[in-house]
A and B are shown apart, each in its own frame.
Chain A
């Protein structure tokens, strides 16, 4: 006789189980379904992570996610109408916009016409509906984020997203902007999954923005599977401007080939509870990786950046610079783990995080980790947190600049150092303007 231990489920866990039971009835019994099933079982074994789970130590999801919202319905006309001005942060960048409302691709709001040769864009929902074998293969490929709770839930519930392929050697002339907007007025949950493949020697600038209404406690779980081929260039800039009570869990799962150049930058100012996690595997040698971010938080916002960089091949250069500005009672979390596998010699990896605390009640948590199994590498990390420099503030004020303006200048310069790492001038300008807007909202 075996004793079966039934863990006590939280309300959110029970609702997720019910939602999954209802959801699985709706799809065909195919390979993708089996993956969903397996992912949900793995989630059920772990449950929602809490503070005793090391990877989620500072973001106790069990406490922060009290409830699981029902899956979002297809967007109605009103929701679509509200989405018209979405993604405007990059209005000045000549990007091709693909718009998702409540998780579903909306062709009439998207710019899918006259795609450049070598660039393919389609909907994940369509591919799932067709039972595409290519998709099954792609989803079955090893993913660096596998095993992560948020990612498993995403696999279990994924609805729609963009499938983007840039053929080998093709440099996409225009940036591609994935616009995600929550348009419903009632709280629901959205699980979106995008798959982006940049072929060998190809190039792509990928923009991603997430936004939604204030005062609606909707839940976003979004994931991006990224495969970057040998010698390819990819830059991704993600802006989180979710509504002020939203929950946003985002996962990047990236596998990068040799001699590639990849940069990722996250600008975070929206949402109530946000976790942006990056799982990046440098599978090929001599690749350059630049990861960065700027988080501007206030009120009760909780913003977590968690990254796992896995150097599996030698000669790669990694640069990580993350800045956070924490006002009010906000909390900024940074966890960065760098793994250098045996044989990944000549890895050169530097990680730096800086937190600027604007209030007594703000909190910055920082956990850098290095796991180095090769002996000829250069790896370093640094972390600082502190208040605005009073001497610098005095210098500015002694020149006639009023206190608030002096603080704003210093905050801009602090954030600017991170924004300057973004390899696209128009995007840098847009992020600098977003920083200014945030500063104007400071009381």
Chain B
């Protein structure tokens, strides 16, 4: 009886076991294991083609990936059974590497539709217009987003930095339990990177975990992770503290690629 209860209490936020994923019959992830708990920030580092973005996409439910083996549990629930919108409503957020432009849909409409859809899925009431506006304005101000941008169609004509800040704005409004940041530093100059990283850091909390996917260590100077994993050839080949990122920056990935290549 006591044991039963203990099991229920210690369900990790995210638990990935032996995840094997194919695209067009090519194996990208080859038996990946990962556990992320609430409040933790994990960095996934790895060379191009190691499967970093595939992991982000599979977690958020992007079509086109075949899960050949393994399982992904989010708060104990089988995540792979859920549609992308259901995953989002349960608290998974993917910050896109390349945020898409949606002509004809005002950013404000998009934010409001998303927030209310999630609330509805969770059985919560819709936010009133004034409440919603207040929240958006507050969060936008923190990210130095010009309110004029919010009236424009989603990401249309936004600069690279504005698109990434818009991703963080969405994250701040949707308040996910797990935020997956896919190469959030790509295409950002150092000032933009700092604004985005500050935005992410403000959202760190004991109830929220983050999975920061990046090729370069520089983002991790600003978002300091609790754990760093090295992903190579579809598997996590090493895990360590934040100093592992520095080591990778100094020595490169070559060594891990060789190791992974040797693993049958």
Contacts and interface: CB of A to CB of B under 8 A. Distances in A.
Given A390-B63, A405-B113, A409-B113, A398 B103 contact: no
A118 interface: no
Contacts of B103: 413, 417
B94 interface: yes
A175 interface: no
Contacts of A406: 85
Given A392-B102, A405-B117, A399 B174 contact: yes
Contact of A413 (B60, B61, B105): B105
A397 B102 contact: no
A403 B85 contact: yes
A402 B93 CA distance: 15
A395 B100 contact: yes
Nearest to B98: A391
Contacts of B170: 399
A56 interface: no
Contacts of B113: 401, 405, 409
B104 A395 contact: no
B117 A398 contact: no
A395 B88 CA distance: 11
B105 A399 contact: no
Interface residues of A, number: 22
Interface string B79-94: 0000111011100011
Given A390-B63, A392-B100, A405-B117, A397 B84 contact: yes
A392 B102 CA distance: 7
B102 A394 contact: no
Best-buried of A391, A392, A394 by chain B (most CB within 10 Å): A394
Interface string B89-128: 1000110100110111100011001110110010000000
Contacts of A412: 104-105
Interface string A409-443: 11011101100000000000000000000000000
Given A392-B102, A413-B102, A401 B117 contact: yes
A399 B100 contact: no
A400 B89 contact: yes
A398 B100 CA distance: 12
Contact of A398 (B88, B105, B115, B153): B88
Contacts of B121: 400, 402
A5 B262 CA distance: 86
Nearest to B121: A400
Nearest to B114: A399
Nearest to A390: B63
B104 A401 contact: no
A414 B102 CA distance: 10
B62 interface: yes
Contact of B174 (A400, A402, A410): A400
Interface in B223-245: none
Q: Is the interface of A mostly helix, strand, loop or mixed?
A: helix
Interface string A291-313: 00000000000000000000000
A90 B103 CA distance: 26
B106 to A, nearest CB: 9
Nearest to B64: A390
A394 B104 contact: no
Given A405-B113, A409-B113, A400 B105 contact: no
A436 B62 CA distance: 27
Given A405-B113, A409-B105, A397 B100 contact: no
Given A399-B114, A400-B121, A394 B84 contact: yes
B81 to A, nearest CB: 15
B114 A416 contact: no
A417 B85 CA distance: 26
Contacts of A409: 102, 105, 109-110, 113
A401 B100 contact: no
B174 A417 contact: no
A400 B102 contact: no
Best-buried of A410, A413, A417 by chain B (most CB within 10 Å): A413
Given A400-B85, A400-B89, A416-B104, A394 B62 contact: yes
Contact of A400 (B96, B109, B118): B118
Nearest to A413: B104
Contacts of B115: 400
A396 B102 CA distance: 9
B96 A401 contact: no
B118 A398 contact: no
Contacts of B99: 395
Best-buried of A390, A391, A399, A402 by chain B (most CB within 10 Å): A399
A257 B62 CA distance: 55
A402 B88 CA distance: 10
Best-buried of A394, A395, A400, A412 by chain B (most CB within 10 Å): A400
A410 B118 CA distance: 18
Contacts of A413: 102-105, 153
A341 to B, nearest CB: 36
A280 B96 CA distance: 47
A402 B153 CA distance: 20
A354 to B, nearest CB: 12
A397 B96 contact: no
Contacts of B110: 396, 399, 409
Interface of B: 60-63, 83-85, 87-89, 93-94, 96, 99-100, 102-105, 109-110, 113-115, 117-118, 121, 153, 170, 174
4 interchain residue pairs of minimum CB distance:
A413-B104, A400-B88, A400-B118, A399-B114
Interface of A: 390-392, 394-403, 405-406, 409-410, 412-414, 416-417
Given A394-B61, A398-B87, A413-B104, 10 more contacts: A394-B62, A397-B88, A400-B114, A400-B118, A401-B85, A401-B117, A409-B113, A410-B102, A413-B102, A417-B103
